[in-house]
Amino acid sequence: MQTSSSAFDNPLEAAASELRTLCRNPGALPPPFDAGTVGRILVHITNINRSVVASTQDHVNAAKRLNDFALIFTRLGRASAPPNGELAARLSSVADNLRAASGELAGADAIPNWRSPKAEILTESEQ
C-alpha cells in the first residue's frame, strides 16, 4: 500500500540545505561571496520560509526577495561555470528552487502546500 502526502517538498528548504553545504566549504564559494555573506542570505531565506507557511500577508514581498536572491545565484553560477562546473550546478539549483518558490508565492493568495520548515534554526553565529 502506498501513501501519499498532500504537501510538496519545500523549495526553500532545498535551497537552504544547499546553502548550508556551501557554507561548510567556504573555499568553494566564488568571490566576493564568503560563508558569512551566504549565511546572511540563508537567514533571510529561512525567515521568509517561516513567514510564508504561517500567513499570506507577506507573499508579494517574499516573492520579490526570493527572485532577487535567485538572480544573484544565477549570476554567480554563470561566473563559476568555466572553472568549477560542480559549484555552478549547485548555485543553479539554489536559484531554480528560489525562483520556483517565488513564482508560486507570486501566483497565489494561499499558504503554499509545502512541508513546514524544519525545526532547525541556523543563526549567523552558528555558521
The domain ranges of the chain are 11-107
pTM of the entire predicted model: 0.82
Task: Supply the DSSP string of 50-103, one letter for each residue.
Answer: HHHHH-STTHHHHHHHHHHHHHHHHHHHHHHTTT-HHHHHHHHHHHHHHHHHHH
Chain segment 23-35, per-residue pLDDT in tens: 888 777 877 788 8
**Confidence band, pLDDT 50/70/90 cuts, at residue 62:** very high
pLDDT at 107: 81
Percent of the chain with pLDDT over 70: 85
pLDDT at 4: 40
